[in-house]
Structures are given as structure tokens and as C-alpha cells.
Amino acid sequence: MTYKSESNKFLVLARGDDGTLKVELDDVLDGYACDLDSFFIAEGVRATLTSAIRSREKQLNIIRQKAIDHALILPQVSDLETADLEQPAEWNGIQIPLWHIVWSGVLSAGEMVNPPEPARAQFEYRHADGRLIPAGNLVGISSHQKKEAIDISGPSLVKIAGVIEKAKAKLPIRSYLIEPKPQNCVHIAFNRANGTV
């Protein structure tokens, strides 16, 4: 599949070392990426679109990787690298999917990540905004999984946010947020009410 935004001049799509595209778009997000390019050109800011649509599987991989990064120790998981996260696991006398426990552990490790489907966090965790969230909190899926969001990265997140602020007047941008390292991007959520979904 070829995207129109592959011809962008200043807001380019992320590619791997071998040149393969690292982002998945649909027609609506591809159109927004093209529209945004003109704002980046006008402001003279070069940036990279690093992430867009994430499937359930991609979200599970993100959760797995964060669990590995934090060396989470969970009695239900012998090897995080190879564990089948969709398998049921024993938890407080009931069976729940293993990802549910791993995702809850990642939250408690301080990484704000969405579950691959709406789910209740099994442990208490501290939100990125400082609030202590009790166990049992219901968390929805990511706006990336809903095909509503893109991430843009570059040398200056502040300059990128400045471009998005200008674009907000013309494009259906619902909100945007600077996410410092390790995400190191500006997360942009769109309203797709007038789109194809």
C-alpha cells in the first residue's frame, strides 16, 4: 500500500533502516498527514510521523516490551519474552487473560499504557499526572487503536507542538500532548466525526 503522505516534504513517515515504512495509516489519517505537511513547511519545522494505527496485536507487543524493560516479576509468567499473553491465567481464584495481569503490572511500574481492550487495572498505580489510582480502575483502549491518533517526533517537541497549535484552527484536532522521553513525541488526537468511521 502506498500513502499519499509518502510524498510529504517536512513531515515524513518513519522508515526502518531497510527503508520499510514503520507506520500504518488509513485514508483519513493519510489525508491529515498530508494536510499537516503544509503547516510544517510553512513553519520550517522538520519532523517524523513515528506511529499511527496500532492493532490489538501491536498494543500487546508494546505491553510485553514494557514489561520486559521493567523486568517485571509475576508469578503467572515464567518467561515474558515467549509467554502467550492471550492464554488464561489464574488470578484471585478466577481465570483472566494473562495480558491483563502483565498490563496491570506495567501500569504499576509507572508506564501509562492502554490495554488492548477495555479492562480494569488489577493493582494500584500512580498516574503520570501524579494521582494514585486504586486497583479496579477501568481503562479504555488507546486512541491509536481507535485509529484516531498519530505521534510526531523531531529535534524540538515544543516547535512541533507550535505547528500543531496553528493547524488546530484548520484541522479536526481534538487534542495534543507533549510526551517526553521515553515516548519523545507529540501525541495528536483527531475527531473523526466527519471522517469515514
Toward Zn ion, which CB reaches closer, 122 or 145?
Answer: 145
Toward Zn ion, which CB reaches closer, 100 or 187?
Answer: 187
Cell of 150: 498519530
Contact 39, 23 (CB under 8 A): no
Distance CA 103, CA 120 (A): 10
Q: Which of residues 138-177 bind Zn ion (CB under 5 A)?
A: 151
The residue sitting closest to Zn ion, measured at its beta carbon, is 187
Toward Zn ion, which CB reaches closer, 23 or 119?
Answer: 23
Distance CA 64, CA 113 (A): 11
Q: How many residues bind Zn ion, per CB under 5 A? A: 2
Q: What are phi and psi of 132, to 5 degrees?
A: -90, 120
- Among positions 54, 100, 147, 187, the unique one binding Zn ion when judged by CB under 5 A: 187
Residue 40 zone, left/alpha/beta (φ > 0; ψ -120 to 50; rest) = alpha
Toward Zn ion, which CB reaches closer, 89 or 149?
Answer: 149
Q: Specify the stretch interacting with Zn ion by CB under 5 A; choose among 13-21, 67-75, 156-164, 179-187.
A: 179-187
Least separation in angstroms between CB 84 and Zn ion? 27
Q: Specify the stretch interacting with Zn ion by CB under 5 A; choose among 18-26, 79-87, 163-171, 183-191.
A: 183-191
Q: Which of residues 6-45 bind Zn ion (CB under 5 A)?
A: none
Least separation in angstroms between CB 12 and Zn ion? 17
Contacts of 101 (CB under 8 A, 6+ apart): 74, 76, 77, 89, 91, 122
Residue 57, SS3? helix
Toward Zn ion, which CB reaches closer, 64 or 187?
Answer: 187
**SS3 sequence, 103-161?**
HHHHHHCCCCCCCCCCEECCCCEECCCCCEECCCCEECCCCCCCCCEEEEECCCHHHHH
Least separation in angstroms between CB 145 and Zn ion? 11
Residues that bind Zn ion (CB under 5 A): 151, 187
